[in-house]
Chain A
Amino acid sequence: MTDKVKLLHHVEAINWNRIQDDKDVEVWNRLVNNFWLPEKVPLSNDVQSWGTLTPAEQQLTMRVFTGLTLLDTVQGTVGAVSLIPDALTPHEEAVYTNIAFMESVHAKSYSSIFSTLCSTKEIDEAFRWSTENVNLQKKAQIIMDYYYGEDPLKKKVASTLLESFLFYSGFYLPMYWSSRAKLTNTADLIRLIIRDEAVHGYYIGYKYQKGLEQVSEEKRQELKDYTFELLYELYENEVQYTHDLYDAVGLAEDVKKFLHYNANKALMNLGYEAMFPSSVTDVNPAILSALSPNADENHDFFSGSGSSYVIGKAVNTEDEDWDF
């Protein structure tokens, strides 16, 4: 299989003083500024909280995290690297190496969580589950097939859907625990991963759109149809995966709303309109608030009573952002 992975045939010394696309520099800087390692997060403070979960809840959590580990491994070892030969600029190539490394940091960080909270036997069992779960393996395989394929833009679609959609059936759970004041340090670590994935999805989606500018209208339509078909195929599989994991704790329906919400964002990263209507994207406010404390409806001045006439409270006005 690996014989099909392409490498660049021609490389020139990268000159960061001659930039073709400012977005490359912007995203590079952003990724570098966001750099983190799991050792910085005091995961051991979650040991007591872990003990308050039932055995079934602990098992669910470990399975979710091995599933996320698999996706990060795919993206770090194959996905981001497979995008390098198709890059439009040398700086884009460099950004993909950054993304690849960070995905490996993410994959390793789940092992930090495991070694802090669980026994070796439990860890081994969870990893065995991840190799045996049909729906988890299927989603990894669907994406892998595109990474080994020939079409540069289809690879970017698959990659963006992985970064911006496929992780979220897993990300839901630590946000859920966090909203109930459980495993809060683990949730802090996951939020760092969620932030990174947003930059990755944004950037790969942006490069997809740059690529679209260079192909015919017919090809664009084909890629759009392909995107929605792939999303639908992945979505069907995600729904089954979600039921596999969450039915026992009664959270599957809540997770599915989170999937719809993130599928819409994945499409937007690719430049397409949201597909799921708001009637099925009404994510549990507790989950949204665990994700971003600023995301609640109280910030909607237009629809509110005016009580939300927030003139930026709790904002550090000493910031050097502005001169005005």
Chain B
Amino acid sequence: MTAVQMADGAVGHGRGAAPGSSTDAQLIYFSSASENTHRFVEKLGLEAARIPLHTNDETIYARRPFVLVLPTYGGESGRNSIPPQVIKFLNQERNRSLLRGVIGAGNTNFGTTYCLAADKIAAKCHVPALYRFELMGTSDDVDRVKKGLEDFWTRQSQTAQ
């Protein structure tokens, strides 16, 4: 699949899950209009739900334990690094209680704030920061995250028993 086709696809179904809907997906993500994180998640080929793009829309609700994928916003001081749409999503206690891990998207050019939003959420919600990738991720990133998530959920189910 070429990137151009993906850009096309993103136009069709890149708007996110229906506001207010509930999801069984074990991967929940936010991606801005740049579609970088969306493309990464698409390449994973796993069932995933996208947090609505517009802050004013009602957020979505997780029904099963999930891993969150999100990019970092904000500048040097790291303030406002978490997209407001993700804050709205995590302000729902139910969503927070089902969060098991965070994956960060970013760009090392941002130095100390590279993937900061993922770290902050991991710290605040006491879950591990699982992985970082840049922009839309390379094929190696995709392979590692697919394998990593598989192992992660296996371990999670063993721990739960």
Contacts and interface: CB of A to CB of B under 8 A. Distances in A.
Q: Are A and B part of the same complex?
A: yes
Interface of A: 21-23, 26, 30, 33-34, 191, 194-195, 197-198, 202, 206, 209, 212-213, 217, 220-221, 224, 264-265, 268-269, 271-274, 278, 281, 288, 291-295, 299-303, 309-313, 315-317, 319-324
Interface stretch (B19-27, B44-52, B102-110): B102-110
Contact of A292 (B32, B108, B144): B108
Nearest to A322: B87
Interface of B: 2-4, 6-8, 11, 32-36, 39, 73-76, 78-82, 87, 90-91, 96, 101, 107-112, 114-116, 119-124, 126-132, 134-136, 138-140, 144-145, 147-149, 151-152
Given A23-B32, A265-B135, A274-B138, 9 more contacts: A21-B33, A195-B109, A202-B107, A209-B35, A217-B4, A301-B128, A309-B128, A315-B119, A322-B91
B144 A303 contact: yes
B148 A268 contact: no
Contacts of A293: 111-112
Nearest to A262: B109
Given A291-B111, A294-B112, A303 B136 contact: no
B135 A323 contact: no
A198 B128 CA distance: 27
A221 B4 contact: yes
Contacts of A312: 119-124, 129
B109 A316 contact: no
B79 A268 contact: no
Nearest to A270: B3
Given A311-B122, A319-B78, A321-B79, A191 B148 contact: no
B131 A194 contact: no
Given A273-B3, A302-B130, A311-B129, A195 B110 contact: yes
